[in-house]
Every structure is written in structure tokens, then in C-alpha cells.
Amino acid sequence: MQKNRPLKDFTSSNQGLVLILVGLWLFALSSFGLTFFSLQRIASVESSKLPLKLKYIWPKNVKKIVDYVIENDMHVTNDDRAVLIKTELMRFDTTDVFYIMVYDNKGETESNSFYGNAEQYITSYNPGKCNIVIYRSHYWRSTSKRAKNNIENEVKIICAEELKKQPDGLENLIKNIEDARFIGLIEKNRAVSIRSANSFGRARGPGWWNKCLEVYPDTKKLTGKQFILIVGFK
């Protein structure tokens, strides 16, 4: 005669099944949440497309794009803003190549500094919002691979040796970098986004950028700050 299965075994089996079903339900719920969030973010960026159709007039029409993004797209991230500007710059009929730098404005003047040919870059400072800097290179697309590698290596060497904290640091640095027409420093903790437009085949062009640690010039001790150094090709 077949013995009845103990009740506790049956109960344990049911409990295991319930746990599996609950786990599957939680997994499905989290997957749905992530998908919904991603779709919402994409929709947000898509809805921010600029309704501008402009000719390439520097700096007038580039400033119009920057101003539009500042006024109408504060609900997206700095990287989203950089991508929006990149998209518009790539619509221009030009061989110029651009750096787009977007980062938080928190009021500290020491968190960012720029130096270079004033005809080749524009800045937009917006307290409580974000700052935007656009640099344009005239010769990046037509220059040699050797020149492109050279400016990349120059930036890497500077960052490997660490930045010295000094007022005229950028002006001195750019003098030692061949073919450079722009140099910038942005503190890394400002939610920095750097994008390139028209720099085909070189994602970090026109020029190069890298992370650098800052040191005091007399003691060589770290200041505790980390910056992003951007160098623009002529």
C-alpha cells in the first residue's frame, strides 16, 4: 500500500513555487521600470530637437544654438545638451571641426579656465544652470596623421606629469604644444560632457583631451582637484 506524502513536504514545495513566482514578478517589474525610464529619457531628448535651420555664420548662429539649448533644454543632462548642439553643428555646410564642452555652473571661478585664439571659441556662462564652450578648428580634417598623433601625445605627457597650480598656467602650456590654438581646464566634478562634431575617425578631436591631477608648484603635492584638459588643434 502506497504511503501518503508528508504534509510538510507538500507545504515546502508550495512555498518554493511561491518564491519563484514572486521572484519572476519582481524581475518583470524592474525590467519594465528600466525600459519605461529609458523610453522616457529618449522621448525627452527627442522632443528637445532644435527647430532651427541656420546657415553657418560664426559666431552668430552658433550662439543662437547655444542660447536655445540653455533656455529650452534644462530638463535634460549635460551630455544630452552636448549631443543636441553636436547634431545642429553637423548640419552646417563647413569643414570646420568642433569641440562642444558642457558642464555645471556652480559659481566657482577656479573650476574652469580657457585660453586661445578668441576668433575660434565662444563661451556661455549661466549661473545656476550650465556653461557651454564651443571651439572650432579649421585644419583638423585636412591635417596629417602625424600632426594629430603629436597633439594627442603632448596632452598625454602634460597629464602624466600633472598640472601645476599657477595663474598663467594655460598661457605657458599652449606655447609648448605644436599647432594648438585653444586650451581649456574644467574641474572634473562639474558633470562635464565633451563632444566632437565633424571629427570623423577621431572621437576626441579636433585635438585631444584627458584627465589631469593638479599639484602645488612648490611642493608637488596634490591639491585634491582633478581637471579635464582640452587642447584644440589650429
* Count: domains in the chain: 1
Residue 9 CB-half CA count within 13 A: 3
Q: What is the pLDDT of residues 47-82, one digit of tens each?
A: 445 556 789 999 999 999 999 999 887 789 999 999
Beta bridge partners of 97: 137
What nine digits make up the cell of 198?
565633424
Q: Is residue 8 part of a domain?
A: no
Altogether, the residues listed in the chain come to a count of: 234
Per the model's pLDDT, the better-predicted residue between 7 and 125 turns out to be 125
Q: Which three cell numbers stand for residue 131?
A: 556653461
Q: Which amino acid is at 139?
A: Y
In angstroms, rounded to a whole number, what is the distance separating the alpha carbons of residues 53 and 224? 44
- Structural domain of residue 132, as residue ranges? 53-233
Residue 126, in any domain of the structure: yes
Answer yes or no: is 31 within a domain.
Answer: no
Among 56, 16, 41, 29, smallest CA distance to 138 is for 56
Is the residue at 17 inside a domain? Answer: no
**Residue 45: band (very low, low, confident or very high) from pLDDT cuts 50, 70, 90:** very low
Sheet holding 97-104, edge to edge: 121-124, 130-137, 97-104, 193-197
pLDDT tens sequence across 88-128: 999 999 999 999 999 999 876 678 999 999 999 999 999 88
What are the beta bridge partners of residue 194?
A: 101
Q: In percent, how much of the chain has pLDDT > 70?
A: 75
Q: Is the peptide bond before 51 cis (omega within 30 degrees of 0)?
A: no
Under 8 Å between Cβ of 63 and 121:
no
Is residue 168 included in any domain, yes or no? yes
CA pair distance 117, 72, nearest whole angstrom: 30
Report yes or no on 2 lying in a domain: no
Residue 29 inside a domain? The answer is: no
Does 114 map to a domain? yes
